[in-house]
Structure 1
Amino acid sequence: MVDCDLIDLYSVDPDSRRKILKYIVDKGIDTWDLGFSPEYVDAALRGEAEVNNMLLCAALRFMDLDEVVNVIGNVPRMATEEDLIRVISRARRDEVYRRLLLEAVNRLIGREQVNEGSIGVMDYVKYKLPDVALILAKLERKLPQRVIGAVLWTIKTTLTLFAELIFALAIAFFIIHAVPGAGPVVDPVNSYLRFLTMVLHGNLGWSRTYGAPVAEIIALAAPWTIIIAVISLTLAFMTGYMLGLVSASKSGIIDSVINGLAAFTQSIPSYVIALTLIIVFGVILKVLPIAGLSSMGVKPGFNIVYIFDVMKHLILPIFSYYIILFPNWVFITRSLASMTLTEDYVLTARARGLRERRILTSYVGKNSILPQLTLLAYSYGILFGNSIFIESMFGIPGLGYLINVTAGTSDYMTTVGAFLVIIISVIVGNFIADLTYGLVDPRIRGVV
């Protein structure tokens, strides 16, 4: 067996690739054992399709080095420096792979037979190929570089988070002292530090409207905004992602219907959607409540009646958010999936005879969802800022409703406190997005 890691597949010309494939077919190897359909292999032998690296590597697994030499007249050259580093690293811990490496070195150098028992593989390579000493040094530095890159990236991302939070608190501080009647700031630095200490201890001031600490008011309002935002955005992402995949893979009437529906929904203003839902389900059909968190006479508490009643009251606000949000995910997923469908690995999967559903979910879907994970994390934070209108329309006592009420009563401490929570949620959402993207793509962390 020829291990594909030991040679540079890109150095094998198309004619040699077809010779290797023909030799394997003539040898009696079933094309399905190669992982490709007979039609694709026949087309590759006729020169109508490419013998790509995946097919070439599958064929080489049924050959040894002597057979490769007899078929194409030479042994393909060793791979690049990075590949050689990987090969040597693997040979250190894999005995079978080490024998393959010895065989390849013997073939390439054409010198005396090397016995692994008499001389170490690494010593032999250093002796025969002095330049490999430099490669080995790079190999030894590889892990520390990756660790250092990851640590520096983590520190940078965390410091950015703290810097943004400090800046947001500074804006809140100056807004509070800029309102009429606040009085001039005699010592801005010390005043800001005292304000920062108060906020870090959970003290956001006193609410004139509700006659209670602002932190307590926000603690009661924030959960409702979080529930509505998380449920609506998660449902919008899931359905938009699935519809986007279907739209990208199905041309014709299905694609037109999905895109037309998404485009039509996206063109409707949010207040029209909310009012339409209120009129249809609350006024005409009278099947859902249109305002508040619970009905009159229902006693609040952790009981089934109250929970069910709250769920009924949250249906229309969540559905309003959902209708507004899901078209964006349809368009984003469709765009990413359409580009992925033209990639070589997708075409190869089809040539191998895989089912279209498996290709769509395993190949296209997974590669299309990764870029959206960071956008999803960021969107959770942004959605808090869009809560003012929907919560005011449906009378949901969340952060948006709280801002709408206190802004009209000049309760600046509560208004600024609610805004501060929304700003912090956006910053944290952005931080989670950066963190997710860094975990998905090591290049972001400086790991090269």
Structure 2
Amino acid sequence: MSGAQPQLDAIAVGTTATRVVSGHSRIPWRFLGSRAAFYLFTLWAAITINFFLPRMMKGDAVSQYLARNRNVTPEAADALRALLGLDTDKSLVEQYLDYWAHLLRGDLGVSLLHGLRPVTEVISQALPWTVGLVGFATIVSFAIGTIGGGIIGWRRGSKLDVFVPITTFLGTIPYFWLGLLAIAAFSVNLRWFPIGKAYGVGMRPEWTFEFIGQVIHHGTLPAVTIVIASLGGWMLGMRNMMLTVLDEDYITVAQAKGLPNRRVLWGYAARNAVLPQIQSFALSIGFIVGGTIVMEMVFSYPGIGKLLLDATNAKDYALMQGVFLVITISVLVANVLADFAYAFLDPRTRQTEA
């Protein structure tokens, strides 16, 4: 009959109280709109705090600069305050509006620590080093820890369980101590790797095989130490989630249907166990831009973390604000991508939110 309703497969529909329409996937506009509004508000709040926080500190960047340079005239000091948006002739509201106007034009001010160079230029030179090193190490540690934790959880009670306490113990060692031990063992004694820096003395950054080889050689030791320090958390988290998922009824049904163990492991158990890992991975990806300050300090690596540390010590507020803003935006973007990835892998999320 033409008016009869099509029969729906109960397994395809699932157990959620959500209406399924064949052939068309309903776009979760409410889910997308609520998330967009939340992150826009968070971005505004972060930028506002980024504006007011340096102005709540004792003194300002110009005062710190004048303390190091006694030969600056009062007129030059006033010009510096106006250049940095610290003009006392303007009210705090006017300074706030000027800050937004400059920000929307991509102007983050100038850095006193780097000879009045634009903050965007200073950050753009340090950012690739941090993203390249910390980003690569984070992705490698997440992949090894998640896959390894899934296999260990699947084979619970086997000899593979010994990797969990070992990696967890290595993760509890303070990073600076782990880095110093690595330098003492592999740089000082064995002389396999350089002690620090991103490339050799006398080298110029350029796209040549020699320079790329230098970068890989100098970055191997800090990258390996980051992987070792963060591997335990990923492995332990995935292993524990696998133990929880393996007790679910759908795993028992899949095994009872005679599905191959590999399909049950990766298609059913690991796919659901990895969901909480995605949120943590998104935060890690976001904080990659912030770098690992201790790592960059131990290995004298010219990344964002060391840049932020130097700016803090020099009270270079414009540079500090620029770095904080880049970190905030990177974390928000990573969370947005994690929300969509989470909703894609688990439709119940967007159904509940919508």
TM-score normalised according to structure 2 size: 0.80
The residue aligned with 2:266 is 361
The residue aligned with 2:182 is 277
Cα RMSD between the aligned structures?
2.9
In 1, the alpha carbon distance for the partners of 2:297 and 2:29 equals 44
* Cα distance change on mapping 1:356 and 1:410 into 2, 3 Å: same
Q: Find the partner of 1:177 among 32, 48, 55.
A: 55
* Aligned residue runs from structure 1 range 304-383, under 5 A: 304-383=209-288
Q: In 2, are the aligned partners of 1:289 and 1:313 still within 8 Å (CA)?
A: yes
Q: In 1, are the aligned partners of 2:312 and 2:320 still within 8 Å (CA)?
A: yes
Q: Quote how far apart the aligned CAs of 1:335 are.
A: 1.3
Q: In 2, are the aligned partners of 1:185 and 1:191 still within 8 Å (CA)?
A: no
Provide, for residues 275-300 of structure 1, a one-character-per-residue CA deviation record: whole Å limited to 9, x for no partner.
11111111111111121111123332
Q: In 1, are the aligned partners of 2:131 and 2:288 still within 8 Å (CA)?
A: no
TM-score normalised according to structure 1 size: 0.65
Q: Find the partner of 1:188 among 86, 89, 92.
A: 92
Q: Quote how far apart the aligned CAs of 1:378 are.
A: 2.1
* Cα distance change on mapping 1:298 and 1:420 into 2, 3 Å: same
Q: Find the partner of 1:206 among 79, 89, 110.
A: 110
Q: In 2, are the aligned partners of 1:293 and 1:313 still within 8 Å (CA)?
A: yes
* Aligned residue runs from structure 1 range 409-448, under 5 A: 409-446=314-351
SS at match of 1:427: helix
In 2, the alpha carbon distance for the partners of 1:197 and 1:8 equals 56
SS at match of 1:204: coil
* Aligned residue runs from structure 1 range 43-82, under 5 A: none
The residue aligned with 1:167 is 45
The residue aligned with 2:306 is 401
In 2, the alpha carbon distance for the partners of 1:176 and 1:251 equals 52
Q: How many residues align?
A: 318
Provide, for residues 355-402 of structure 1, a one-character-per-residue CA deviation record: whole Å limited to 9, x for no partner.
433322232222222332232122211344452111111111111110
Q: In 1, are the aligned partners of 2:138 and 2:227 still within 8 Å (CA)?
A: yes
In 2, the alpha carbon distance for the partners of 1:185 and 1:335 equals 59
Residue 27 (structure 2) pairs with residue 152 (structure 1): no
Residue 96 (structure 2) pairs with residue 218 (structure 1): no
Q: Quote how far apart the aligned CAs of 1:155 are.
A: 2.0
* Cα distance change on mapping 1:188 and 1:346 into 2, 3 Å: same
SS at match of 1:293: coil
Q: Find the partner of 1:197 among 101, 119, 123.
A: 101
Provide, for residues 148-170 of structure 1, a one-character-per-residue CA deviation record: whole Å limited to 9, x for no partner.
xx222222212222211221111
Provide, for residues 134-193 of structure 1, a one-character-per-residue CA deviation record: whole Å limited to 9, x for no partner.
xxxxxxxx98xx44xx22222221222221122111112113333414565842223212
Q: Which has the higher contact order (CA 8 A, sep 6+)?
A: 2
The residue aligned with 1:233 is 138
SS at match of 1:364: helix
Q: In 2, are the aligned partners of 1:177 and 1:183 still within 8 Å (CA)?
A: no
* Aligned residue runs from structure 1 range 86-105, under 5 A: none
Larger Rg: 1
* AA aligned opposite 1:290: I
* AA aligned opposite 2:178: I
